[in-house]
Chains A and B, each alone.
Chain A
């Protein structure tokens, strides 16, 4: 009798959950369709400012070619890199010489109020524009990026992440 009751409760629970799953999955699919693929998201964030269209690099995993009409004007990529607490999602755009044109911190789970400044202070990521692959370290390490005061660790992770993504794009393009 006890077993029957347990099974009954479990069965009802599973049925209810499966029904909820159906509903929420539909919504998730809708959200995913609205957000579009990485190419559409890169376009919306404007990491390569003049790009009107992105096309996946053949054989590449993360890198997208950025086109202004018919001209190849750079590359863009969105990728998860290591942050201080958890993973950071960064979108990076570069010109054909791999000089950074734009960086967006798409999502982060750094310490709220401290590390989260990398996303909240647009001045920080704005520094990346115009920096070549060699300058992608913090100024304290001889690079061209000034860390946010009080959030130097997270700033370092973002900078290292951008360098990592630029490196990956160079690899995939060549």
Chain B
């Protein structure tokens, strides 16, 4: 098996991300696959991006804008 290197994009392991650990993935060009040296995750770029999208779902208001007025209004809820 060949030496793992950083890919073109420095992705973090999605499984480690889910338990709040930032850990860089390595890329194995022979099998076109990313893998994690800490846990047992391995997969493609497509799988990484899918899991990132799942990760973001915890931020339900990620794209919502709360202005000063919106936040003050929460005081009256």
Q: Do A and B come from one complex?
A: no
